[in-house]
Amino acid sequence: MGLSNKSKEILAGPLSKNNPVIIQMLGICSALAVTSKLEPSIVMAVSVTAVVAFANVIISLLRNTIPNRIRIIVQLVVVAALVTIVSEVLKAFAFDVNKQLSVFVGLIITNCILMGRLEAFALGNGPWESFLDGLGNGLGYGIILVIIGFFRELLGSGTLLGFQVIPEVFYQWGYVNNGLMILPPMALIVVAVIIWVHRARNKDLQEN
Amino acid sequence: MKALRNYLDKIKPHFEEGGKLAMLRSVFEGMETFLFVSNETSKSGVHIHDSIDAKRTMTAVIIALLPALLFGMYNTGYQHYLAIGSAPGFWATFVYGLLAVLPIVAVSYIVGLGIEFTVAQWKKEEIQEGFLVSGILIPLIVPVDTPLWMIAVATAFAVIFAKEVFGGTGYNIFNVALVTRAFLFFAYPSAMSGDRVFVRTGSTFGIGEGAVVDGFSGATPLGQINIASNELAGSFHAVDALGNPLSSWDLFVGLIPGSIGETSAIAILIGAAILLFTGVASWKTMLSVFAGGVFTAAVFNLIGTTVAMSVSPLDHLLLGGFAFGAVFMATDPVTSARTETGKYIFGFLTGVVAIVIRTLNPGYPEGMMLAILLMNIFAPLIDYYVVESNIKRRMKRAVAK
């Protein structure tokens, strides 16, 4: 890999030490809404990663020409255009998942991570760094979504990606899927457990 | 007693730091202070000392719960034999219930205390006694046919997420036993509601086998009201498992289907008397829960268009977990309001919310659990405003002079 140390830091930081979901507490809403199954979680993760990476690049390229007073509008237009493209692609190639995600594809526009990265990073850095930053943050968000989706689908439905993984014989012994896992409150608790484990492994992140 | 004390003193060194059983230090300490009042007193700050410590208080609550537990065991057997259409006599009925209920008690204690002991040892703290009561409350508020593994999972969830993460006994914002029930209720709804779970129709450890008689239905009176809730008032009567109509007296005695400990108002009243006599629970909370329930039920009676609205206030207090919740759950000193005025507000709103949920929400036949959990959230807010208003009033008085 020809990445410099700085680039590596930009790319890898959001995966753990500066994770948008479990450190900065951004994008929690969609993390609750779309993660009751693993498949929509993955699709959502990929969609957000694509949008945030390319929005970062475009805004970074335009950063010297955007008048400061209307920058939010410009950012919204760019993000809205990208979200529309993602939405159309999903409708064309993954219609079922698109239906499950419903409004949350459109609501990527309002995901705090997007505006946060555009404001905080893309407006002040070059396109290549911005691309890496967008990619890193999208993946950091995606990892958390996939972990939540994994546990919620496994414990809530007994399946993974729609395939049954908990053997039928368990159900005959009296095992029952945990209905609470399907409900949004449990997503919050799963996020809390991820934060718990993460802070326990990284002592420097613990607040006093 | 003397011999026990001597024995404890003899084995104590093994559990001290560096002793060969040091990893069980917190367990030993917990047992020692459970058997004998601790000689240690706080070393810093100003404290009010009372001869009754937390373990003795908890023991009083457990004694108060015993009538409901014993009645629940008998009722479990009674409902079972009613369902299979035989009447084997008092002791056989009781033993059936005992065998059905004891595993639930055991699972609840083993899981809950196991986690408490582990956490205490891990954080090098004393074992906290809070679970002594939660562990007996949990079996009393679940249907008898709840699978044991579900109770284990729910207890573990409640102890970890409702108690330990907040800092342990005395820091929890929600009643631990009710969180256990709420977890069961939302995670495994089919095991917690309906007409199949409140009466055990199968055998327990091989005794009490028999086929269910014709016309049997295990629906609780509240469940029946819920099913009939959209019909017009006047056409409905709660019935027992065989279809005979139930009077308010039957509801008061409590030989009806329901969660193990909640059915008998008599047993709960005995418990309430013990709690009030020992001063463990506040009569203000209890009284205002009942007042809130009666008030709301009376208001709904005035509207009275549907079956659920026309249930009389008295029946509301006797049905389901209302009395049990009012006496043993709403009065939990940790999660209820602490100011004296706050206790009235807390109790009254709990009663109101419980009856509103019962009457208006078709999804939940019973509202007591959700009402108490909801009011647990508001308890600190109620306390805050009671204290604020007190400060304001006294300020005014000071300025006026």
Q: In this structure, what DSSP letter does residue B258 have?
A: S
Backbone φ and ψ of B45, nearest 5°: 75, 180
Mean pLDDT of B141-159: 91
Find, among A24, A21, A43, the residue nearest to A34 by Cα. A43
Structural domain includes residue A5: no
- Higher-confidence residue of B23 and A79: namely A79
Mean pLDDT of B28-36: 71
> How much of chain B exceeds pLDDT 90, in percent?
31
Residues of A in contact with B189 (CB under 8 A): 179
Cα of B151 to nearest chain A Cα, Å: 13
B186 contacts A180? CB cut-off 8 A? yes
Any CB–CB contact under 8 A between B183 and chain A? Answer: yes
Mean pLDDT of B383-398: 92
Number of residues assigned to chain B? 401
| pLDDT higher than threshold 70 for residue A177 | yes
CB atoms within 10 A of CB B271: 25
pLDDT score for B272: 93
Structural domain includes residue A160: yes
Structural domain includes residue A56: yes
| pLDDT higher than threshold 70 for residue A208 | no
Tokens in use for B291?
């007042």
By C-alpha distance, the chain B residue nearest A188 is B161
pLDDT score for B389: 93
Backbone φ and ψ of B204, nearest 5°: -120, 120
Mean pLDDT of A164-191: 84
Any CB–CB contact under 8 A between A18 and chain B? Answer: no
Q: What is the pLDDT of residues A105-115, one digit of tens each?
A: 888 888 888 88
Contact B240, B256 (CB under 8 A): yes
Mean pLDDT of B105-126: 86
Cα of B80 to nearest chain A Cα, Å: 21
- Which sequence spans correspond to the domains of chain B? 23-37+53-208+257-278, 281-400
Q: What is the pLDDT of residues B209-241, one digit of tens each?
A: 777 777 777 778 877 777 776 666 555 667 776
Find, among A116, A180, A129, the residue nearest to A152 by Cα. A180
DSSP H or E run through B22: none
3-state secondary structure of A177: coil
Kindly provide the ipTM of the predicted complex, given to two decimals: 0.83
Contact B221, B238 (CB under 8 A): yes
Residues of A in contact with B190 (CB under 8 A): 176
Q: What is the pLDDT of residues A62-77, one digit of tens each?
A: 888 888 888 889 999 9
DSSP H or E run through B359: helix B340-360
**Structural domain span for residue A123:** 13-205
pLDDT score for B201: 76
> Is B83 exposed, middle or buried, given 0-12, 13-18 or 19+ CB atoms closer than 10 A?
buried
> Helix crossing, B148-157 with B131-140: angle to 10°?
140
Any CB–CB contact under 8 A between A181 and chain B? Answer: yes
A180 contacts B183? CB cut-off 8 A? yes
Q: What is the pLDDT of residues A2-30, one digit of tens each?
A: 667 788 788 888 887 888 888 888 888 88
Any CB–CB contact under 8 A between B147 and chain A? Answer: yes
A179 contacts B149? CB cut-off 8 A? no
How high does pLDDT run on average in chain B? 84
3-state secondary structure of B204: strand
Mean pLDDT of B150-163: 91
Sequence-distant (6+) residues with CB within 8 A of A34 are A40, A41, A44, A100, A101, A104, A145, A149
Any CB–CB contact under 8 A between B238 and chain A? Answer: no
Find, among B147, B311, B152, the residue nearest to B226 by Cα. B311
Any CB–CB contact under 8 A between A178 and chain B? Answer: yes
Q: Give the confidence band of B18 by pLDDT, cuts at 50, 70, 90.
A: low
Sign of the Cα torsion B342, B345, B351, B354 reads: negative
Q: Give the confidence band of B286 by pLDDT, cuts at 50, 70, 90.
A: very high
Structural domain includes residue A4: no
Q: How many domains does chain A contain in total? A: 1
Find, among B102, B74, B106, the residue nearest to B264 by Cα. B74
Measuring CA to CA, how many Å separate B200 from each of B23, B93, B241, B365? 42, 12, 12, 20
Mean pLDDT of B380-394: 93
Distance CA A200, CA A191 (A): 14
Q: Give the confidence band of B374 by pLDDT, cuts at 50, 70, 90.
A: very high
Residues of A in contact with B165 (CB under 8 A): 196
pLDDT score for B23: 65
- Higher-confidence residue of B26 and B170: namely B170
pLDDT score for A39: 87
